[in-house]
Amino acid sequence: MSHTTPPLTAKDFASNQEVKWCPGCGDYSILKQVQTVFPAFGVAKENIVFVSGIGCAARFTYYMDTYGMHTIHGRAATIAAGIKTINPNLSVWMVSGDGDALSIGGNHFIHLFRKNFDIKYLMFNNQIYGLTKGQYSPTSEQGKVAKSTPYGSVELPFNPPEVALGAKATFVARSLDRDPKHLQAMLTRANAHKGTAFVEIYQNCPVFNDGTFFAYSEKETKQEAALILEHGAPLLFGNDRSKGIRLDGTMPQIVDLNEGTYSQTDLWIHDESDKTKANLLARFPDFDLPLPRPFGVFYAELRPTYEDLLNEQANELIAKKGKPMLNKILAGEKTWTVL
């Protein structure tokens, strides 16, 4: 980024607008973690742009004292792509909810990853439509009883990391609103990634879908239900980290380390660069096993960004052909003169 100003604080990133989410909304925590980690990134406020779609999550933009665009439903990715293409020096952050990103914005969601702009994509997943007051969303579980599905949804949900990986995302992570430290770490990792960095953030909607993710955040259950991924470390979870996950071929298997059959060296060692395993991790909910839900960086890959490739191509052409004068362009190839 162009220059660093005197050290900023979290407060410097708060806009003068009153935050208007419902009391107890998980968005408050996410906003706080973002404002907390941003000073450490050393990017001047004027070089940061937040781009959001429509929905509760999308109001995020108004609360950050940076440049920002609150856009139209599902289209934040398209607008962010235009911004980044014209000014690659900007730090561009997207905020979308699950409906915004995966339903109305589904087409843009996949193409953004394929093209790999250097954009940070925070997807707040509360598995419900909040702003329209409680319809099931594309991430709601099958059978979800909601306003528009009084007898339960018959649809299978999307699994966001699986979709992102399938769309060739170069960075896929998951965190949650109620684990500030972990969320801060994931935001920091996303910021450091050069390419489209997708962070799914489990976010509690206290009004329409309260407690959906509490199993992964509350003290009583999280040890058993959540799996914290660390690059190079074995997949361990459970009380006293006594359980592990090993791979039996391509099938994950839960093992009890206290039984003595397996030790830590037998376990699946997390490797962020292994896409096959990242896909397996993303698909944990699909297995007919009490697998814990993974949190952390599933996958990270360094691949040239769209804007860099575009500019390199232009620069190579300029080096080879030079820049034509406007008069040459106006005249074109074949001209004649009338006297």
Partner 1 sequence: MSDLPVSASKPIIEKESIVIRFSGDSGDGMQLTGNQFADTAAFLGSDLSTFPEFPAEIRAPAGTPAGVSGFQLHFGSKQIYTPGDKYDVLVAMNAAAFKVDIAKLKTGGIIIANTGGFDKKNLQLAGYTDNVSPLDTHAVDNYSVYKIDISRHTKDCLEQSGLGTKEIERSKNMFVLGLLFWMFDEPMDYTIGFINEKFGKKPDIALANINTLKAGWNYGDNTEIFANRYKVSSAHLPPGNYRNITGNQATAIGLIAAAHQANLPLFLGSYPITPASDVLHELSKYKTSNVKTFQAEDEIASIGAAIGASYAGALAATTTSGPGMSLKAEAMGYAVMLELPLLIIDIQRGGPSTGLPTKTEQSDLLQAMYGRHGEAPLPVLAAATPSDCFETVYAAAKIAIEHTTPVICLTDGYIANGSEPWRYPQEEDLQPISVNFATQPNTDSGAFLPYKRDDRYVRPWAIPGTPGLTHRIGGLEKAHETGNVSYDANNHELMTQLRAKKINAIADAIPLASIETGKATGKLLVLGWGSTFGAIKTTVTELIAEGHEVSQLHLRHINPFPKNLHRLLTAFDKIIIPEMNCGQLVKLIRAEFLLPAISYTKVQGLPFTTAELKKFCLEQIKLF
Residues engaged in binding partner 1 (CB under 8 A): 2, 15, 17, 44-51, 54, 61-62, 64-72, 75, 77-87, 89-90, 107-108, 111, 310, 313-314, 317-318, 321-327, 329-339
Distance CA 170, CA 264 (A): 29
C-beta atoms surrounding 137 within 10 Å: 28
Nearer to partner 1, 42 or 324 (CB): 324
Rg (CA), the chain: 23
Nearer to partner 1, 119 or 267 (CB): 119
Check: CB of residue 92 under 8 Å from CB of residue 120.
Answer: yes
Nearer to partner 1, 67 or 214 (CB): 67
Give the nearest distance from C-beta 326 to partner 1 in angstroms. Answer: 5
Give the nearest distance from C-beta 307 to partner 1 in angstroms. Answer: 9
Give the nearest distance from C-beta 2 to partner 1 in angstroms. Answer: 7
| Run of H or E including 80 | helix 76-86
Distance CA 260, CA 255 (A): 10
Give the nearest distance from C-beta 72 to partner 1 in angstroms. Answer: 5
- Tell me the DSSP string of 213-278: THHHHSHHHHHHHEEE--TTSB-EESGGG-EEEEEETTEEEEEEGGGSS--GGGSPBP-TT-HHHH
Nearer to partner 1, 90 or 101 (CB): 90
Helix (H, G, I), strand (E, B) or coil at 310: helix
Helix (H, G, I), strand (E, B) or coil at 243: strand
Give the nearest distance from C-beta 315 to partner 1 in angstroms. Answer: 9
Q: What residue type is 177 in one-letter code?
A: D
Nearer to partner 1, 79 or 297 (CB): 79
Give the nearest distance from C-beta 83 to partner 1 in angstroms. Answer: 4
Check: CB of residue 130 under 8 Å from CB of residue 210.
Answer: no
Nearer to partner 1, 272 or 307 (CB): 307
